[in-house]
Amino acid sequence: MGWPVMHSRSPLLHNYWFKRHGLAGTYVPLAIRPEGLAEALRALHPLGFAGVNLTIPHKQHAMTLVDEVDPVAIRIGAISCVVVRPDGSLTGSNNDCYGFIHNVKQAEPGWRASAGPVVVLGAGGGARAVCYGLLQEGAKKIRLVNRTLARAKGIAAELGSAIEASPWEYRHDALEGAAMAVNATSQGMSGQPALDIRLDKLPKGALAADIIYTPLETPFLAAARNRGNRTVNGLGMLLHQGRPAWKTWFGIEPEVTAELRALMEKSLVAPDN
């Protein structure tokens, strides 16, 4: 469920897994206006849905509409997934953080969150999940830089003293000595200007990650790659967040295979094919 939602690549992902696991199901995009969200969620049970994923702009509002929210989602402050239980009650969880961390681990098996300071750019819903995941993985210091400082301060206040909130002007200098830099803003997404950042202070050994996956390589990642940094794009975050969703919906843990990744990449590079 999202608004808009028809651009979503999630049906391609989940329908690949339905086929692979031989389940007689289908995953459909549901374009739900914000004012219709409560009724749409309550209709899931009579319509026979096992659950839904939620995307912009529903992740926070939906949290107030479901019957139960798991502790991770409460801490992150948003839900990305709903499970419909047999009695029709709804449970919300947040799998974005799992998706982000497992994507980085699959791409960089030797990666450690505790290797050094991590710079997170942005303080929206995605950034919250990223920060929570990094802390869970043992990050000792997160430099959280956001255009609206108050939002970064809000995350720091909620998630703890390892997060240092800084104003947007500091973004270039924040990269000094960092082990990792993550773009969790919407800047660099198709239709948006590139993230405005100078990378000269980013150590060459640092990992650069983006949570955006349209385009697969954002200008931020291209600039980092061109100067010799290793990079991780956002597609795997989308792929990996689907695994815990399937676990709760169907008791199956599907794999993020090379074939699946190639299928998704092809649809992003040539969306009309």
Ligand X SMILES: NC(=O)c1ccc[n+]([C@@H]2O[C@H](COP(=O)([O-])OP(=O)(O)OC[C@H]3O[C@@H](n4cnc5c(N)ncnc54)[C@H](OP(=O)(O)O)[C@@H]3O)[C@@H](O)[C@H]2O)c1
Contact 106/256 with Cβ under 8 angstroms? yes
* Of the candidate residues 90, 202, 212, 256, the single one contacting ligand X (CB under 6 A): 212
Give 165-197 as a DSSP string: EEEGGGTTGGGTT-SEEEE-SSTTSTTSPPP--
Residue 146 in the binding site for ligand X (CB under 6 A): yes
Stretch of 11-19, 28-36, 233-241, 260-268 contacting ligand X, by CB under 6 A: 233-241
Residue 247 known to be catalytic: no
Contact 210/236 with Cβ under 8 angstroms? no
- Burial of residue 6 (CB within 10 Å: 0-12, 13-18, 19+) is exposed
Stretch of 11-19, 66-74, 183-191, 248-256 contacting ligand X, by CB under 6 A: 183-191
**In the complex, minimum distance from the CB of residue 46 to ligand X, in angstroms, rounded to a whole number:** 29
Residue 62 in the binding site for ligand X (CB under 6 A): no
* Of the candidate residues 92, 234, 242, 244, the single one contacting ligand X (CB under 6 A): 234
Nearer to ligand X, 51 or 188 (CB): 188
Give 15-67 as a DSSP string: HHHHHHTT-S------B--GGGHHHHHHHHHHHT--EEE--TT-TTGGGGTSS
Beta bridge partners of 36: none
Residue 147 in the binding site for ligand X (CB under 6 A): yes
Sign of CA dihedral 157, 80, 174, 148: negative
Cα separation of 166 and 266, whole Å?
Answer: 38
Nearer to ligand X, 30 or 128 (CB): 128
* Of the candidate residues 92, 117, 125, 254, the single one contacting ligand X (CB under 6 A): 125
Residue 131 in the binding site for ligand X (CB under 6 A): no
Residue 123 in the binding site for ligand X (CB under 6 A): yes
* Of the candidate residues 106, 186, 248, 267, the single one contacting ligand X (CB under 6 A): 186
Residue 189 in the binding site for ligand X (CB under 6 A): yes
Contacts of 110 (CB under 8 A, 6+ apart): none
Q: Is the peptide bond before 46 cis (omega within 30 degrees of 0)?
A: no
**In the complex, minimum distance from the CB of residue 57 to ligand X, in angstroms, rounded to a whole number:** 8
Stretch of 64-72, 134-142, 206-214, 218-226 contacting ligand X, by CB under 6 A: 206-214
Q: Is the peptide bond before 215 cis (omega within 30 degrees of 0)?
A: yes
Residues that bind ligand X (CB under 6 A): 56, 96, 99, 122-127, 146-148, 151, 184-187, 189, 211-213, 234, 237-238, 241
Please give the positions annotated as active site. Answer: 59
